[in-house]
Amino acid sequence: MRLLLINGPNLNLLGQREPELYGLSTLESIECDLREKAKAQGAQLECFQSNFEGALVDRIHKAIGEVDAILINAGAYTHTSVALRDALLGARIPYVELHLSNTNAREQFRHHSFLADKAIGVVSGFGVMSYQLALQGLLGYLRKGRESL
Ligand code: DQA
């Protein structure tokens, strides 16, 4: 099973960025941990982060035929990007949307996601554990299909 973890804008600052909201773990440590957890379950996880919308779109295009599914924390682009939605749908790669914070408990503009309605599922509000829960959910889905959920 080949998986791709995509992190969007400002997530490279994890560890120093608004720690009261996003915790103290760095993106590097989150990626390392998730790569190991995926490996322990027989999956191969590649990680990509960019602050540029177009670079994220390009990475999704490159993933066509290369990965079985995507885990994505699109950061602020979650709430603004039709381009990312179109890229994910155009690539026809199943994906899970995830967030460290509970976006529905925050400002109104974070309540809408351009990705959520087409995602396999959405995990939001569990801090670093959101990444692990998203991975678990995705692997279960890929192994057994939607009826396993
Ligand atoms: C975030 C939530 C977004 O609203 C915000 O813009 C982020 C981080 C999260 O992981 O909680 O950059 O995606």
CA of 80 to the centre of ligand 1 (A): 12
Task: Name which of 87, 4, 24 is nearest 52 in CA terms.
Answer: 87
Give the pLDDT score at 11: 98
Q: Residue whose CA is closest, atom 13 of ligand 1?
A: 75
Q: Are 99 and 130 in contact (CB under 8 A)?
A: yes
Give the count of beta carbons closer than 10 Å to the beta carbon of residue 51: 16
pLDDT digits (tens, 9 = 90+) for 32-45: 999 999 999 999 99
Model pLDDT, residue 144: 85
Q: Ligand 1 centroid vs 100 CA: distance in angstroms?
A: 7
52-85 pLDDT, tens digit each: 999 999 999 999 999 999 999 999 999 999 999 9
Q: What is the token pair recorded at 57?
A: 């779109």
For residues 56-94, one letter each, b for 16 or more C-beta atoms within 10 angstroms of the residue's C-beta and e for the rest, the string is bbebbeebeeebebbbbbbbebbbebeebbebbeebebb
The answer to whether the CB of 76 is under 6 A from ligand 1 is: yes
Q: Which member of 95, 99, 131, 141 is catalytic?
A: 99
Question: Which residue in this structure is represented by tokens 């440590």?
Answer: 29
Q: Which atom of ligand 1 is nearest to the CA of 9?
A: 12
User: Does the beta carbon of 128 lie inside 6 Å of ligand 1?
Assistant: no
Is ligand 1 within 6 A of the CB of residue 26? no
Is 99 labeled as catalytic in the residue annotation?
A: yes
3-state secondary structure (DSSP) of residue 117: helix
pLDDT band at 24 (very low <50, low <70, confident <90, very high): very high
